[in-house]
C-alpha cells in the first residue's frame, strides 16, 4: 500500500461521528510521553470506532444494491474505484494496523482480554471484507508496503482458526477496562457469545462451498447453547445525539437535513404494505401525506423511487419520504394512511393523526432537526442468529424448529425497533398476532416456499444492514429483486477495490483493469 498515508483518512473524521471525546483516540501511537508502546485501553475503542465508521459507506452501497434504499449509482448497479475507497483505506490504515498492534502488544504484556477482543474484531472485519470484496490482502496486511491479495476461501479458513484461538486466549485471563469497550463493556460472557455467533455466521455462509464442515461445526455450536440469544447481547453500535461533533446515526444526518440523501425504496414500502407489516411506520417517515411518485400530490405520502430510476431529482426535498425512527433514530410516522382501515390489520390507523404525518412534527424545512439521531447499527444480533439457525434447520437439518426460530427472529426485530420508539411501540398483541400468522403461512408452505418466507422476513428485518441482505441474496437468490428501471451494468457480484490500491500496490498494478472488472462479474467463493 505504497504512498498511502495514515493521514489520508484521519481517525478524527470517524470518531467525530460518534463521540464527543474523540481527541483521546487520535494519534494514539504517537504519544510524546510514550512514543513506542500503544495503550491498549485507547487502541480498543479506536478500532471499534473505525470498524463502525468505515462500515457506513459499504452498508449504503449494499443497501442500494439490495433495494433497501434508492440512491446513488449502485442503485443502478454501477460502481467505480472511488465508490468504496474511503472505507478500504480506513480499514487498511486505521483498524487493521491498530488490531495488529493490540494483538502484538497485548501478547507481550499478557493482556489476554485485549488480545482476544482484537482477534475477534479482526475475524469479524475480514469476514466482512471477504464477503464484499472477495480476495483481499490479509496475511501481509499492515506488515509490508505492497501486501499480496489472498484467496477469500483461505482467509475464511484462517478466520475460523482465529476465533478458536481467541476463545483460548480468554481462558488465560480476561481483564478489560469496561469504559474502553464500546460494544460489551469488557464482558467476557458477551464476547464469548459473540465469538460463537460469528463462527456460526461464517459456517452458514459457506454451507454450499463446504457443507460437511458447516454441518459439523454448526451442530457443535448448537450443542454449546452459548451464542447470542437475547437482544441485550447484540453486537450493535449505539449512536448518540450530539451535533458538535456529530454523534448521530449517519442515515439520520443525511436524511434530516435540507439536502437529503437519495430516496426511500418503494420496494420496501410495497412489500411491507402488501404483507400488512406494522414496521412500515417505523422504517419510512412521510413528510407530506399527499405526496406521490414524481413529486405528485395524489399519493399517500410515500414518495420514493423504484430501483434503477436514474431520473434527475426535482425540487422535492420537502416532499419526499425519508428514513424513519428505525434504524436512524428519526421520526415515527403517526399519520393516517388513507388506503388502510382504521382498526383492521396489523398495519392500521389506530391512533393515527390527520393533517400531519408525525408525532409532534415541528420542523420548518428541517431547520432544527427532529427525532434525536440516536439510532443503532446492527452488526451481529439476536435477530440475525435466529434467522441463521432457521436457515440451517431448513437447509442442513440441524433438528431445530425453523418455524419457531422464524417467529422469534421477527419478534426480536420488532422488540429492537421498540427500544428506539418507546413512545410509540409495536403493541405486544400485534407482535404475537403477526408472528403467529407467519408461522401458519410457513407451516403451510412447501420446503422451497418456507425458505422464501424466511428470507423475505430476514430482508425486512435487515433494514439498516444491507450487507447482510446482500450476502443472503448471493447465497440463496432470495428474496427476488425487482427489475431495475434503467440499469447501468449487471448485478455486482462483489464491490470494486479502491483505485489507489490498484495503482499503488505493485502486486496488482499490471492486472488492475481485469481485476476490477472481475469484481462486478465473478462471484465470491462461497456462492455456488
Residue range 305-350, pLDDT digits in tens: 999 999 999 999 989 999 999 999 999 999 999 999 777 899 999 9
pLDDT at 354: 77
CA distance 341 to 355: 17
The region of weakest confidence among 11-15, 172-176, 196-200, 492-496 is: 11-15
In 208-337, which residue ranges form alpha helices assigned H by DSSP? 211-224, 250-255, 266-274, 280-283
Asked if 392 and 221 touch (Cβ cutoff 8 Å), the reply is no
Other residues' Cβ atoms within 10 Å of the Cβ of residue 264: 25
pLDDT at 355: 65
pLDDT at 366: 41
pTM of the full predicted structure? Answer: 0.92
CA distance 89 to 200: 28
pLDDT at 528: 83
For the segment 392-410, the average pLDDT, to the nearest whole number, is: 98
User: What is the sign of the dihedral through the CA atoms of 271, 276, 281 and 283?
Assistant: negative
> How sure is the predictor about 261, in pLDDT bands with cuts at 50, 70 and 90?
confident
C-alpha cell at 229: 440469544
pLDDT of 17 > 50? The answer is no
At how many degrees (to 10) do helices 382-396 and 211-224 cross?
130
pLDDT of 367 > 50? The answer is no
pLDDT of 360 > 50? The answer is no
Domains of the chain: 24-176+492-521 (1.25.40.390), 376-464 (no CATH)
Place of cell 427476488: 480
pLDDT tens digit sequence for 268-306: 999 999 999 999 999 999 998 899 999 999 999 999 999
Rg, C-alpha atoms of the chain? 23
CA distance 126 to 132: 10
CA distance 66 to 61: 9
> How sure is the predictor about 11, in pLDDT bands with cuts at 50, 70 and 90?
very low
Q: What is the mean pLDDT of the chain?
A: 91
pLDDT of 520 > 50? The answer is yes
pLDDT of 364 > 70? The answer is no
Asked if 184 and 170 touch (Cβ cutoff 8 Å), the reply is no
CA distance 235 to 271: 27
CA distance 463 to 445: 25
pLDDT tens digit sequence for 150-175: 999 999 999 999 999 999 999 999 99
Spatial neighbors of 60 by CB under 8 A, at least 6 apart, are 69, 71, 72, 466
For the segment 245-263, the average pLDDT, to the nearest whole number, is: 91
Spatial neighbors of 486 by CB under 8 A, at least 6 apart, are 76, 308, 309, 310
> How sure is the predictor about 257, in pLDDT bands with cuts at 50, 70 and 90?
confident
CA distance 489 to 345: 40
CA distance 32 to 222: 49
C-alpha cell at 167: 476463545
CA neighbor of 412 nearest in space, from 370, 446, 383: 383
Asked if 246 and 253 touch (Cβ cutoff 8 Å), the reply is yes
Asked if 272 and 347 touch (Cβ cutoff 8 Å), the reply is yes
Asked if 92 and 1 touch (Cβ cutoff 8 Å), the reply is yes
pLDDT at 342: 78
pLDDT above 70 coverage of the chain, percent? 90
pLDDT at 36: 56
Instruction: Give the three-class secondary structure for 305.
Output: strand
CB contact burial 213-222 (16+ within 10 A = b; e otherwise): ebbebbeebb
**Pairing assessment for the beta strands 376-380 and 69-70 based on DSSP bridges:** unpaired
pLDDT at 356: 53
Environment class of residue 511 by beta-carbon count within 10 Å: exposed (0-12), middle (13-18) or buried (19+)? exposed
pLDDT at 25: 34
For the segment 430-450, the average pLDDT, to the nearest whole number, is: 98
CA distance 238 to 240: 7
The region of weakest confidence among 34-43, 207-216, 256-265 is: 34-43
pLDDT at 344: 83
pLDDT tens digit sequence for 83-137: 999 999 999 999 999 999 999 999 999 999 999 999 999 999 999 999 999 999 9
Q: What are phi and psi of 27, to 5 degrees?
A: 55, 40
pLDDT tens digit sequence for 51-76: 999 999 999 999 999 999 999 999 99
pLDDT at 479: 98
pLDDT at 400: 98
Instruction: Give the three-class secondary structure for 353.
Output: strand
Amino acid at each position: 500500500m505504497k504512498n498511502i498515508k495514515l493521514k489520508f483518512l484521519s481517525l478524527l473524521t470517524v470518531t467525530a461521528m460518534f463521540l464527543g471525546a474523540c481527541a483521546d483516540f487520535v494519534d494514539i501511537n504517537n504519544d510524546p510521553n510514550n512514543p513506542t508502546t500503544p495503550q491498549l485501553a485507547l487502541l480498543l475503542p479506536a478500532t471499534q470506532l473505525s470498524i463502525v465508521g468505515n462500515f457506513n459507506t459499504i452498508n449504503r452501497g449494499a443497501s442500494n444494491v439490495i433495494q433497501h434504499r434508492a440512491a446513488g449509482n449502485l442503485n443502478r448497479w454501477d460502481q467505480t474505484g472511488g465508490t468504496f475507497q474511503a472505507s478500504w483505506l480506513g480499514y487498511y490504515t486505521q483498524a487493521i494496523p491498530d488490531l495488529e498492534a493490540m494483538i502484538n502488544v497485548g501478547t507481550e504484556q499478557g493482556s489476554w482480554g485485549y488480545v482476544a477482543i482484537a482477534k475477534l474484531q479482526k475475524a469479524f472485519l475480514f469476514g466482512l471484507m471477504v464477503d464484499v470484496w472477495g480476495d483481499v490482502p490479509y496475511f501481509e496486511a499492515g506488515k509490508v508496503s505492497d501486501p499480496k491479495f489472498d484467496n477469500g476461501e483461505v482467509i475464511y479458513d484462517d478466520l475460523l482458526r482465529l476465533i478458536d484461538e481467541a476463545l483460548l486466549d480468554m481462558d488465560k485471563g480476561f481483564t478489560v477496562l469496561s469504559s474502553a469497550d464500546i460494544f460489551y463493556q469488557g464482558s467476557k460472557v458477551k464476547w464469548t457469545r459473540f465469538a460463537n455467533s460469528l463462527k456460526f455466521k461464517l459456517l452458514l455462509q459457506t454451507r454450499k462451498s463446504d457443507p460437511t464442515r458447516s454441518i459439523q461445526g454448526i451442530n457443535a455450536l448448537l450443542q454449546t447453547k452459548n451464542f447470542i440469544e437475547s437482544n441485550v447481547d447484540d453486537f450493535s453500535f449505539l449512536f448518540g445525539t450530539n451535533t458538535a461533533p456529530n454523534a448521530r446515526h449517519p442515515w439520520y444526518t443525511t436524511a434530516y437535513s435540507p439536502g437529503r440523501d437519495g430516496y426511500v425504496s418503494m420496494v420496501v414500502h410495497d412489500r411491507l404494505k402488501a404483507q400488512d407489516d406494522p414496521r412500515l411506520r417505523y422504517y419510512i417517515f412521510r413528510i407530506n401525506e399527499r405526496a406521490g411518485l414524481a413529486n405528485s400530490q395524489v399519493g399517500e405520502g410515500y414518495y420514493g423511487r423504484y430501483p434503477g430510476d436514474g431520473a434527475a431529482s426535482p425540487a422535492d426535498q420537502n416532499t419526499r419520504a425519508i428514513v424513519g425512527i428505525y434504524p436512524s433514530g428519526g421520526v415515527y410516522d403517526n399519520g393516517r394512511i388513507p388506503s388502510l382501515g382504521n382498526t383492521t390489520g396489523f398495519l392500521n390507523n389506530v391512533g393515527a393523526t390527520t393533517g400531519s404525518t408525525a408525532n409532534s412534527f415541528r420542523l420548518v424545512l428541517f431547520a432544527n432537526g427532529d427525532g434525536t439521531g440516536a439510532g443503532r447499527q446492527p452488526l451481529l444480533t439476536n435477530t440475525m442468529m435466529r434467522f441463521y439457525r432457521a436457515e440451517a434447520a431448513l437447509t442442513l437439518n440441524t433438528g431445530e424448529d425453523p418455524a419457531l426460530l422464524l417467529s422469534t427472529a421477527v419478534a426480536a426485530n420488532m422488540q429492537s425497533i421498540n427500544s428506539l420508539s418507546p413512545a410509540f411501540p409495536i403493541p405486544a398483541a400485534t407482535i404475537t398476532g403477526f408472528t403467529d400468522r407467519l408461522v401458519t403461512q410457513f407451516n403451510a408452505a412447501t420446503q422451497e416456499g418456507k425458505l422464501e418466507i424466511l428470507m423475505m422476513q430476514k430482508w425486512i428485518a435487515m433494514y439498516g444492514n444491507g450487507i447482510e441482505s446482500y450476502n443472503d441474496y448471493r447465497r440463496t437468490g432470495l428474496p427476488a429483486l425487482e427489475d431495475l428501471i434503467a440499469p447501468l451494468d449487471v448485478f455486482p457480484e462483489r464491490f470494486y477495490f479502491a483505485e489507489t490500491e490498484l495503482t499503488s500496490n505493485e502486486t496488482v498494478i499490471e492486472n488492475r483493469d481485469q481485476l476490477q472488472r472481475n469484481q462486478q462479474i465473478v462471484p465470491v467463493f462461497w456462492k455456488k
